[in-house]
Amino acid sequence: MKGALIGCGFFAQNQLHAWAEIEGAGIVALCDTDEARLSDTARRFGIERTYRDAAAMLDAEALDFVDIATTAPSHRPLVEMAAKKSLHVICQKPFAETMEDARAMVAAVDDAGRVVMVHENFRWQSPVRRAIDMVRGGAIGEPFFGRVSFRSGYDVFSGQPYLAEGERFIIEDLGIHILDIARAFFGDVDRLAATTRRVNPKIRGEDVATMLLSHASGVTSVIDCSYATKREPETFPQSLVEIDGTEGTLRLDAGYRLTIQAKGEESVVDVSPPLLSWAERPWHNIQESVRTIQQHFANCIAEGQEPETSGRDNLKTLALVEAAYRSAATGETVRPGEL
């Protein structure tokens, strides 16, 4: 499959490295409004066809899919443009600024008979995936409590300065990933309560959030996120997991240590992600997941299947984000299904 990438910013570089290793798909054209960034990226990855305008690119190129790596405000027009060209779409998160936009984007691609997947990569990190597979396989029986944490003091603003400028920050940018991990483990959410706080005075949005989720499966989970946590050693960008089940417990601890205590036995496994040739620590965990999710996208299109993190599925994760902000603002418990 021939694809084009729209947006050549910070994270898109990881996506391009990953596309070069994907079986059955590759990038043949690039688009970015910044000429210097566009030419630099094209030179780095050996991609000759470049465009400053997405519509012009879609008119000129014979494509199968587009990879949209821009920020959320541009997603709806770009997704709808791709749908009109009957293209498959993989789109960065957050998928949309509003639930209305997200539903419209899903409908547009559905009407075109194509696939739209959200680049929701945290559940595809190999340590997290190993834990998900163990829980789904019944290693600790039926889960009844879970905690998924991401606490760090890492400077994410130097590489992505726009993150400091929005009125929303940690739930929309990071918490969306952690909420999606909770859905992967425990299923959909009936009720959600949240609190937020801004500790860093140099940013506009919240950098600490804690959420309590009641899942339809009967599980209660706690989701806590922080970019204001000062700790040594720094655990960025690791997601830490603790789950209680009817037959035992599972922990994914710092240092990629997966511990399962069940039926009177303990198993401790090193689930460290591989360091890909183009990756660098500590980002290698996320960088590996980029390759995995993009391969999943290509495989699903080839096999005629709906991706695990499809646009339709991501509507439920987006609803959790909106519910969290509403709960934090009102002090009330919110039912995400009503959103």
The CATH code that applies to domain 122-280+308-338 is: 3.30.360.10
What is the structure's pLDDT at 153?
96
pLDDT in tens, 163-180: 999 999 999 999 999 999
What is the structure's pLDDT at 159?
85
pLDDT in tens, 51-85: 999 999 999 999 999 999 999 999 999 999 999 99
Summary mean pLDDT of the chain:
97
What is the structure's pLDDT at 21?
98
d(CA 178, CA 260): 21
Mean pLDDT value of segment 17-34: 98
For the chain, the straight-line distance linking the first and the last C-alpha, in angstroms and rounded, comes to 36
Q: Which residue has the tokens 């990569």?
A: 121
What is the structure's pLDDT at 160?
86
3-state secondary structure 312-330: HHHHHHHHHHHHHHHHHHH
Beta bridge partners of 201: none
Q: Which tokens hold the place of 325?
A: 């902000």
Percentage of residues of the chain with pLDDT beyond 90: 98
Q: Which tokens hold the place of 239?
A: 């997601």
pTM: 0.95
What is the structure's pLDDT at 36?
97
3-state secondary structure (DSSP) of residue 66: strand
pLDDT in tens, 266-298: 999 999 999 999 999 999 999 999 999 999 999
Mean pLDDT value of segment 186-190: 98
The CATH number for 2-114, chosen from 3.30.1330.10, 3.40.1180.10, 3.40.50.720, 3.40.50.2300, is 3.40.50.720
d(CA 262, CA 95): 38
pLDDT in tens, 223-272: 999 999 999 999 999 999 999 999 999 999 999 999 999 989 999 999 99
Instruction: Please check the confidence at residue 29 and state whether its pLDDT lies above 90.
Output: yes
3-state secondary structure (DSSP) of residue 309: coil
Instruction: Please check the confidence at residue 17 and state whether its pLDDT lies above 90.
Output: yes
What is the structure's pLDDT at 72?
93
d(CA 309, CA 317): 10
Domain coordinates of the chain in residue numbers? 2-114, 122-280+308-338
